[in-house]
């Protein structure tokens, strides 16, 4: 991948690529659009940053961008300097954007490529000053990026690379209009001209169908037990009534140990504040994070949690996606989420990078809508299934609810959001545009016992599904 990238990989002491890196990097280097699905904690950030930076170093700024500089086109409103990043990474949360930015700085060390980050809840002036120093790779949340575009500070005319991290959430109802505004209604090069990559741990069928609006002749890469959960995580589901949850939580915390990093998920901001106050009065060093806290408070809370000064973090879904804190020992779902994809992302905060972790969920009748999906997850990951969950799932199945309510967002096609929807959408074209076939046309060959690899030139136009060893970290 070139001297600069390899030197920085050596500085980070990376020795072996993870499975998603091993398969995604050559696809991206071949300039193909990609939808990649891999477990939480599997190294997806480096999987798109490394080949993207490698190509930026190789290709240089490009003739179009250089021409813009020579003609003064790089200046925005009122003569202020306007930046034209070559690569854009969009993330759903401020914390994930900062995390990607830190990784980008690491891998662009001692190079002329300058990463920048934009996110809301912090001083706009400081971010503008950082932009004015130059920006080749931009990491941003959609809202603040749109603000900077409207201020004339950012132009996407020469953006050759677009990455959507946690893409299933990015394309959810709350973010889709902003994404379309950025990608389709401004000056960004169209699909087929730019290279687009999407990464997540879950890709429900309807999100895949929506995502193809942004992708051209893409490859679907599924690595490992995708959309399911790692066998490194011991999952337990306990039946606890709402009135008993707090006392049960204290028992769990005492059993885990006060110094072990524990992440407690609740459903509402008010619930997070209330539970933090309860734990503090009970003598526990704890902090909380949710959408109503300022960016400074959120960063301070995460810093205290990472350092162990406050080993208990009470959080809403804002902390479920992307946060990489490698030594979290226990994730507790004080309130279970309403869909199984969110459950997968939450418990993925533990058991990362080959470490062992524990996840405990407090369940009662309020959570009956995910009964069947939760049962499937436990069976898939070879976890102990409590009798009450089996009984409730059986009742739902016979009431016909498993096909309507129990599937949450995910279709009954299975695969926990990890199957290429084009395989099951009917017809020889596999449901893709342009009549692409994912049924093995062009010489398919089995790979690792999962799916097919349909190819004329080594990377085909269809599905590349790798299901090799589920315990890669132990085997290497």
Q: Per-residue DSSP letters for 112-124?
A: S--EEEE-SSS-H
Q: Is the pLDDT of residue 455 over 70?
A: no
249 dihedral zone (left: phi>0; alpha: psi -120 to 50; beta)? alpha
Token pair listed for 423? 């395989």
Of 331 and 416, which is predicted with more confidence?
Answer: 331
Cross-strand pairs, 363: 239
**Alpha helix segments (H runs only) across 60-156:** 63-71, 94-107, 124-132, 142-150
Q: What is the mean pLDDT of residues 105-128?
A: 90
Q: What is the mean pLDDT of residues 302-317?
A: 90
Q: Do 248 and 150 share a structural domain?
A: no
Q: Is 13 domain-assigned?
A: yes
* Mean pLDDT over each residue of the chain, to the nearest integer: 79
Q: Could you tell me if 223 and 340 are in contact, meaning their C-beta atoms sit under 8 angstroms apart?
A: no
What's the pLDDT score for residue 354? Answer: 63
Q: Do 254 and 173 share a structural domain?
A: no
Confidence of residue 65 (pLDDT cuts 50, 70, 90): low
Q: Per-residue DSSP letters for 311-354?
A: -EEEE-GGGTSS---TT--EEEESS--SSHHHHHHHHTTSSGGG
User: Domain boundary at 168, 201, 223, which?
Assistant: 223
Q: Give the separation between CA 111 and CA 3, rounded to whole angstroms.
A: 10
Token pair listed for 65? 């961008």
What is the CATH number for 103? Answer: 3.40.50.300
Q: Do 280 and 200 share a structural domain?
A: no
Lowest mean pLDDT among 137-141, 327-331, 446-450, 458-462: 446-450
Q: Is 442 domain-assigned?
A: no
Q: Is 407 domain-assigned?
A: no
Confidence of residue 392 (pLDDT cuts 50, 70, 90): confident
Q: Give the separation between CA 33 and CA 191, rounded to whole angstroms.
A: 9
Of 457 and 270, which is predicted with more confidence?
Answer: 270
Token pair listed for 343? 């459950």
Crossing angle for the helix pair 94-107 and 44-59, to the nearest 10 degrees: 50
Q: Is 439 domain-assigned?
A: no
Q: Do 314 and 190 share a structural domain?
A: no
Q: Is the pLDDT of residue 352 over 80?
A: no
Q: Do 355 and 211 share a structural domain?
A: no
Q: Is the pLDDT of residue 240 over 90?
A: yes
Q: Do 38 and 110 share a structural domain?
A: yes
What's the pLDDT score for residue 399? Answer: 64
367 contacts: CB under 8 Å, gap ≥ 6: 336, 374
User: Domain boundary at 223, 256, 274, which?
Assistant: 223
- Number of folded domains that form the chain: 2
Q: Do 388 and 282 share a structural domain?
A: yes
Q: Do 125 and 217 share a structural domain?
A: yes
User: Domain boundary at 398, 418, 447, which?
Assistant: 398
Q: Is 161 domain-assigned?
A: yes
Q: Is the pLDDT of residue 432 over 50?
A: no
What's the pLDDT score for residue 28? Answer: 96
Q: Give the separation between CA 127 and CA 141, rounded to whole angstroms.
A: 13
Of 376 and 278, which is predicted with more confidence?
Answer: 278
Residue 62 exposure: Cα atoms within 13 Å on the Cβ side: 16
Q: What is the mean pLDDT of residues 125-146?
A: 93
Q: Could you tell me if 344 and 40 are in contact, meaning their C-beta atoms sit under 8 angstroms apart?
A: yes
341 closest CA partner among 261, 234, 240, 415: 415
What Å distances lie between residue 343 and 101, 136, 261, 346, 348, CA to CA? 26, 35, 19, 5, 8
Q: Is the pLDDT of residue 415 over 60?
A: no
Q: Is the pLDDT of residue 311 over 90?
A: yes
What's the pLDDT score for residue 66? Answer: 56
177 contacts: CB under 8 Å, gap ≥ 6: none
Q: Could you tell me if 94 and 120 are in contact, meaning their C-beta atoms sit under 8 angstroms apart?
A: yes
What Å distances lie between residue 111 and 14, 88, 105, 131, 317, CA to CA? 19, 18, 10, 17, 36
Q: Is 436 domain-assigned?
A: no
Number of H helices, E strands in the chain: 17, 14
Q: Do 303 and 189 share a structural domain?
A: no
Q: Do 166 and 19 share a structural domain?
A: yes
Dihedral Cα 134, 57, 107, 313, nearest 10 deg: 60
Confidence of residue 321 (pLDDT cuts 50, 70, 90): low
Confidence of residue 295 (pLDDT cuts 50, 70, 90): confident
Range of the domain at 266: 233-398
Q: Give the separation between CA 415 and CA 313, rounded to whole angstroms.
A: 31
Q: Is 252 domain-assigned?
A: yes
What's the pLDDT score for residue 90? Answer: 96
DSSP 8-state code for residue 162: E
What's the pLDDT score for residue 453? Answer: 35
Greatest CA span in the chain, whole angstroms? 71
Phi, psi of 68 (to 5 degrees): -60, -40
Lowest mean pLDDT among 130-134, 316-320, 374-378: 316-320
Q: Is the pLDDT of residue 379 over 60?
A: yes
Helix (H) or strand (E) holding 72: none
Q: Do 255 and 195 share a structural domain?
A: no
Of 414 and 168, which is predicted with more confidence?
Answer: 168
Of 227 and 48, which is predicted with more confidence?
Answer: 48
Q: What is the mean pLDDT of residues 241-264?
A: 90
Q: Do 168 and 281 share a structural domain?
A: no
What's the pLDDT score for residue 211? Answer: 87
What's the pLDDT score for residue 100? Answer: 94
223 contacts: CB under 8 Å, gap ≥ 6: 19, 20, 23, 36, 37, 38, 39, 42, 466
Q: Is 85 domain-assigned?
A: yes
What's the pLDDT score for residue 414? Answer: 42
Confidence of residue 121 (pLDDT cuts 50, 70, 90): confident
Of all residues in the chain, the percent with pLDDT exceeding 70 is 75
Give the model confidence (pLDDT) of 190-230 as tens digits: 999 999 999 987 788 888 888 889 999 999 998 865 444 56
What's the pLDDT score for residue 153? Answer: 94
Of 148 and 171, which is predicted with more confidence?
Answer: 148
Of all residues in the chain, the percent with pLDDT exceeding 90 is 42
């Amino acid at each position: 991948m070139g001297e600069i990238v390899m030197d920085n990989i050596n500085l980070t002491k990376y020795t072996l690529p993870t499975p998603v890196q091993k398969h995604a990097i050559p696809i991206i280097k071949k300039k193909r659009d990609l939808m990649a699905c891999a477990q939480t904690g599997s190294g997806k950030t480096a999987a798109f940053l490394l080949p993207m930076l490698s190509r930026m170093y190789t290709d240089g700024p490009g003739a179009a961008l250089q021409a813009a500089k020579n003609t003064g086109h790089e200046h925005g409103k009122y003569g202020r300097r306007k930046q034209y990043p070559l690569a854009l990474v969009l993330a759903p949360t401020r914390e994930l954007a900062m995390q990607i930015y830190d990784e980008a700085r690491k891998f662009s060390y001692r190079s002329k490529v300058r990463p920048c980050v934009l996110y809301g809840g912090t001083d706009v002036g400081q971010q503008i000053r950082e932009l004015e120093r130059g920006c080749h790779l931009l990491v941003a949340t959609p809202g603040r990026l749109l603000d900077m575009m409207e201020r004339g500070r950012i132009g996407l005319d020469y953006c050759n690379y677009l990455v959507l991290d946690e893409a299933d959430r990015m394309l959810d109802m709350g973010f889709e209009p902003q994404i379309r505004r950025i990608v389709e209604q401004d000056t960004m090069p169209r699909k087929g001209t730019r290279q687009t990559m999407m990464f997540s741990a879950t890709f429900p069928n309807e999100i895949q169908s929506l995502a193809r609006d942004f992708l051209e002749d893409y490859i679907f890469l599924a690595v490992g037990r995708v959309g399911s959960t790692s066998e490194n995580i011991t999952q337990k589901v306990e039946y606890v009534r709402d009135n008993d949850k707090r006392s049960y939580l204290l028992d769990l915390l005492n059993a885990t140990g006060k110094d072990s990093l524990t992440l407690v998920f609740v459903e509402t901001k008010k619930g997070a504040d209330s539970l933090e106050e309860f734990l503090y009065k009970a003598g526990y060093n704890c902090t909380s994070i949710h959408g109503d806290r300022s960016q400074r408070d959120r960063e301070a809370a995460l810093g205290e949690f990472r350092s162990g000064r406050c080993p208990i973090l009470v959080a809403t879904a804002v902390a479920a996606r992307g946060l990489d804190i490698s030594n979290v020992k226990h994730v507790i779902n004080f309130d279970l989420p309403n869909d199984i994809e969110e459950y997968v992302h939450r418990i993925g905060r533990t058991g990362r990078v080959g470490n062992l972790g524990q996840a405990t969920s407090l369940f009662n009748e309020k959570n009956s809508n995910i009964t069947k999906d939760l049962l499937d997850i436990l069976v898939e990951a070879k976890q102990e299934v409590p009798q009450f969950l089996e009984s409730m799932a059986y009742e739902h199945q016979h009431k016909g609810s498993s096909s309507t309510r129990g599937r949450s967002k995910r279709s009954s096609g299975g695969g926990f959001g990890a199957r290429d929807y084009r395989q099951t959408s009917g017809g020889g074209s596999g449901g893709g545009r342009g009549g692409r076939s994912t049924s093995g046309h062009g010489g398919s060959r089995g790979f690792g016992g999962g799916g097919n690899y349909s190819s004329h030139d080594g990377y085909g136009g269809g599905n590349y599904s790798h299901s090799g060893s589920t315990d890669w970290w132990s085997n290497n």
